[in-house]
Structure 1
Amino acid sequence: MMPDRQDFGEIDRQAAQWADRMNRPLQDAEMAAAFDRWILQDSRHVEAYARMQGLWQSGAMQDALTAAEAGAGAAAGSWPGAAGGTRTGTDESGLPEDGEAPNWAAQAWKQFAAFTAVALCLVVVVSLGARLLVSEASYRTARGETRDVQLVDGSKVRLSGDTRMDVRFTPWSREVVLREGEAFFDVAHEKVRNFAVDTGSSSVTVLGTAFDIDLVDEQTRVVRVYRGLVSVDAGAGRQWRLPAGSGIEVGGGKVRSLGDVPGDHPGWIDGWFDAEDTSVRQLVQRLNRGSSRPIELSDPALGDLPVTGRFQTSDPEMVLDALAAIHDLQWHREGGRYLLSR
């Protein structure tokens, strides 16, 4: 049985609504999930959305009309009988007998036909199945290792040590799951697809910007923005928009604003960590990502001690000396580890 014409009309209407929604500056996770459900529900949804998105993104039709108007003016000036020219005669239609009709209309049609061909190709490709256009990859680093990753959209990611990340790109979304560790994202700008990072307890959504996410522990997330605007969603209606130069720490039911985020990339890339009333536990975790010899605390309570300052994480023994001086502690090597104690 052939699908009802009204079915196609309704699908096109829904596709147009989704094209409008997905081209807005920021999307939340709920809307993105709803879109994924809708697009995968029916292969006709994929085709209709591709058509609407092609029309949304392309200015080919307007370009063709503009070229037609420009061509009309140029052709009028070049006809015999136009200003500065002579006309030998006309036929009944009013066209010149000795000259050819202006070709601006044909040129405009060719331009629009080319656009239509591209749009049709897009529909054909997408109609092969959304799953064929899905790009998935997983990345991880070992302790003491960093890694640069270039994603298929041109975005760049620097992974810190002991970090795990999964990536899933579709024609309508860019999704990253940061499962462990820390990563600095330099996101390629796109008008259509948001770039979303899920950290488990919160999510970050952007279109094109540079930011850093640190998974401090199972609950605590630290986000710092170095370019553009970032939307952070911690669930339960807790949302923030962070401009460049700012940051936020969310975890354990608490929120702490980080008002001064200098530079264009995080300090850890250069081997430094800027602590601002940070716990020793967090600093030790940072050191452990880059050190082949782990640091352990003899007493878990030591992890609650606060520290402020700039620490060279590429030299853990120097940092341990600083911690010992600040809080009257001591450290020593024990087997394959460093042990920090009172």
Structure 2
Amino acid sequence: MKDRQITEEATYWLEQMNSPVVDVSVARGFDKWMDADARHRDVFSDLQGLWDSPLLTGAARLSNSAPQPEAEEMAGGRKKVMASMAFGLMVAAIALLVLALPGPLFMTDIYRTDRGAGDHITLADGSRATLSGDAELEVRILPWKRTAVLRRGEVFLDIAHERFRGFTVESGSAEIKVLGTAFNVDRQGEQDTVVQVYRGVVGLEGPTGEYMVLRKGQAAKATAHHLVWQSDFMNRSGPDWIAGWFEMSNEPLGLLVEKLDRYSEHQIRIDDETLARRRVSGRFHISRPASVLSALKYAYGVTVVDKGDVITLQ
């Protein structure tokens, strides 16, 4: 009941704050309401997003066909009346939409996996997600938008196509926008993200506004500073990591260790930054961390120190 009450209050404040003139006392009341609860800010922000969404196109079209006022309400008066009618219809459309929906509104689902244990998830909109080990994905499925934030790990998404609601994924410095497609998002460290498209088209935006369009078989990497095209890959049905493999060519050892860590029950890390930057190549069976670590000892002269709960490469 609390969520519905917040929605009703947010709808009221949306109407007040989008009026042509806002009284000082009203503005102060709005600020007080926004500061009272973080959920107030979240719900109001979501309603503002709905304001410009295609869902309200019908309401706007209806307002344009509304009966005209009498002759004495000409010129400026007529414009004010029509603007008021249009606004009223828009607010009514929002209120009917959000209040008629069954169940809780503005819910956020957070999915987490442990090291060595991935998961297959079906989202509320029918989209499917496969998470790597040691991953965290936050998903919001709202009546007018679908968003997700990959906080760590890797996820393969098969997005249910919808005409009006797109799907946006944030990962590090990258933002990925889709309408209906299958793609992989690999968060590497704090900022870097690699995106691979297996079906359809995605738009990839970097931290500086740089933008790329990726199609089936294409991949790109978003860093803290720019976007970089990567080599095209074979059009498989899904990424290699789901089958427990990772292929790399002249990339940092630290990246391979990050992949191994997702499959290991115990933490795997590199304390030596020089070693972490050493370039390696090969196709590694990352779902078998012990065998890969053994191979690294012989191929690259790496020392593996196993302390039980932590495995360190030196």
TM-score, normalised on structure 1?
0.63
Question: How many angstroms does 1:52 deviate by?
Answer: 1.6
Aligned to 1:147: 119
Matched, 1:40 2:11: no
Deviations 1:37-84 (A, max 9, x none): 7972599x599945728x9xxxxxxxxxxxxxxxxxxxxxxxxxxxxx
Aligned to 1:212: 184
Cα 1:241–1:329 change in 2 (3 A) is same
Instruction: Report % sequence identity.
Output: 35
Write the distance in 2 (CA, Å) between the matches of 1:38 and 1:252: 27
Question: How many angstroms does 1:261 deviate by?
Answer: 2.3
Cα 1:37–1:231 change in 2 (3 A) is farther
Aligned to 1:128: 99
Cα 1:203–1:238 change in 2 (3 A) is same
Aligned to 1:52: 58
Question: How many angstroms does 1:329 deviate by?
Answer: 2.5
Aligned with 2:312: secondary structure?
strand
Cα 1:206–1:46 change in 2 (3 A) is closer
Cα 1:292–1:42 change in 2 (3 A) is closer
Pairs aligned (count): 243
Write the distance in 1 (CA, Å) between the matches of 2:212 and 2:309: 42
Write the distance in 1 (CA, Å) between the matches of 2:142 and 2:227: 33
Write the distance in 2 (CA, Å) between the matches of 1:292 and 1:42: 42
Matched, 1:336 2:287: no
Write the distance in 2 (CA, Å) between the matches of 1:170 and 1:211: 21
Indicate the RMSD between aligned Cα atoms, in angstroms.
Answer: 3.3
> What does 1:1-342 correspond to in 2, within 5 Å?
40-41=47-48, 49-50=55-56, 52=58, 125-126=96-97, 128=99, 133-262=105-234, 263-341=236-314
Please list every run of 5 or more consecutive structure 1 residues that lacks an aligned counterpart in the other structure: 1-6, 12-35, 56-121
Write the distance in 2 (CA, Å) between the matches of 1:206 and 1:219: 21
Cα 1:139–1:281 change in 2 (3 A) is same
Question: How many angstroms does 1:202 deviate by?
Answer: 1.4
The runs of at least 4 consecutive aligned structure 1 residues that moved more than 6 Å come to 36-39
Write the distance in 2 (CA, Å) between the matches of 1:47 and 1:332: 55
Deviations 1:219-267 (A, max 9, x none): 1111111111110011322111111111111214354322222212111
Please list every run of 5 or more consecutive structure 2 residues that lacks an aligned counterpart in the other structure: 1-14, 20-42, 62-92
Question: How many angstroms does 1:128 deviate by?
Answer: 1.6
TM-score, normalised on structure 2?
0.68
Determine if contact 2:136/2:151 at 8 Å carries over to the other structure: yes
